[in-house]
Structure 1
Amino acid sequence: MPLSSVPQLAALYVETDKELGRIEALGRAVESKLGECLKSGKIPDSKLVEMIAVLKVKAIETSISACFKLKQELGSYALMGGTGFEKLDYLQCCKFAEGDSRILMQKLTRDRLQAFAKSPSGKGKEPEACMKLGMSLKKGGKAAWNDNFELVYGIAEMVMERTVDEVAGPRASL
């Protein structure tokens, strides 16, 4: 029986395909903009740098998440040799190569806070989160960054989602 005929796997494939399609759209946009920079000899602007960081984090994190979900749905089959799942640690290595995902997420938050300080704007919960973290940093200094790590990564998640949405459109509601 083909695995794609198992309902929960078929649903997982559809969900993953949609999410990877959004990331591929971001990849095409990054490739196009970076190609323009390389051809013209220009340094990438801050928006393109942000897009590259988002692409790196989202591509790896989405792949790891999809493989983990698939492994959970397959059960004991995923534990057997020769199924390909024994190679998943490679994705973990990618998470830390070319810039650790967590460090890139902190960079996204730092850059967003700097932009927010110059022009307090944004949509959704992002401006509120920036204000909250900014106030915490003002009161607590550098230690507040670590004390508010969930907020730091939460802002990065918002920046990443907004960046993907700007290129691929908003994620369809369930």
Structure 2
Amino acid sequence: MADEPDNSLNWPLDWSETGGPRSPRFGDVYYSLEDGLAESRTVFLAGCGLPDAWSDRKRFTVAELGFGTGLNIAALLHLWRQSRAGGRLHIFSIEGFPVSRLDAARALSAWPEIAEAAQALLDRWPPARPGFTGSICRTGTPPSIWPWVTRPGRWTSGAGRPTPGSWTDSRPP
């Protein structure tokens, strides 16, 4: 993206002394400060049974609640590119408190081994929107990302533990 979206609609991150992002709104870290990519590979990718789960499919869809910095999706795109010669990957992800492209780029820069997938994601980073923002991604050349906005009645957290308000009908201000 040539222009950074209006950051007033994003939720700026705090950064730890070791460079890890932290949510000032919830006081929680986005991923393990020891090795977020290893955590993503273990919890998200292996937890979803990937790459075996998509081995015999031409199309595969992954849905994630909590897009965050995009680390899980960048790791997913990287794995897809490593383990697939073709096919189509669809990613559906939702984020109630989107981070800016600049914060995502800073977070994802910690892992050069997924830099190509991270850059493909950053090049199409959805603009900030008030309310719950979702993205639908499709692999291809180039990959495409379509942002959308909705106001659901209820959401649950995709995190290991719920964040305040994640089990209610509360919405961002």
Query: Over alpha carbons, which structure has the higher Rg?
Result: 1
The answer to which structure has the higher helix fraction is 1
TM over 0.5: no
The answer to which structure has the higher strand fraction is 2
Normalising by structure 1, report the TM-score.
0.27
